[in-house]
Copies of this chain bind each other. A is one copy, B any other.
Amino acid sequence: MSTAATPNLHLEDQVCFALYSAARAAQQAYRPLLDELGLTYPQYLVLLVLWEQDGLTVTALGERLHLDSGTLSPLLRRLEAHGFIARERADVDSRRVLVSLTPAGDALRERAADVQRCLLEAVTLAPAELLALRDLSRRFVGPEA
């Protein structure tokens, strides 16, 4: 279809379009499940991090998710308004904002396990293919990320 000298510009051949479509398809698969928890997908990702390690700063959350404060500040404000997290300035350095789970936020953890199960059932790829997709995607992000 094309040579190295003339890269093809067909939509269907584009790796990045496939990634772009797959990422949105993933969010759409999550949406009905997360709706029941009152969460969006990025909010769910924040909780995934906090369930692993509570009490992180906004910057630390951003490093894990590759998001900056411009995205996280309003997102965390909504999570707080929904009662899932609390934010407080650190004593030692009042520039830092420590994000911690409320009991309600911690309680979501069990229900989130069901979300994972439902999603795995909906996916048509074989387990080994999912692992391959995950690892290729991670390496696409960068050698170190």
Docked pose: A26 CA to B18 CA in angstroms: 11
Pairwise interchain contact B19-A51, C-beta atoms closer than 8 A: no
Partner of A133, one of B21, B66, B133: B133
Interface residues on chain A, size class:
35 or more
Query: Who on chain B is nearest to A109 by CB?
Result: B9
Partner of A136, one of B16, B25, B120, B136: B136
Partner of A11, one of B9, B23, B45: B45
Query: Given contacts A52-B11, A133-B19, are A140 and B116 in contact (CB under 8 A)?
Result: no
Pairwise interchain contact A20-B23, C-beta atoms closer than 8 A: yes
Pairwise interchain contact A140-B26, C-beta atoms closer than 8 A: yes
- Residues 90 to 142 of chain A near chain B (Cβ within 8 Å): 109, 112-113, 116-117, 119-120, 123-125, 129-142
Pairwise interchain contact A23-B25, C-beta atoms closer than 8 A: no
- Residues 35 to 67 of chain A near chain B (Cβ within 8 Å): 41, 45, 48-49, 51-52, 64-66
Docked pose: A130 CA to B133 CA in angstroms: 11
Q: Which residues of B contact A109 (CB under 8 A)?
A: 9
**Residue from A123, A137, A138, A141 with most neighbouring chain B CB atoms (10 Å):** A137
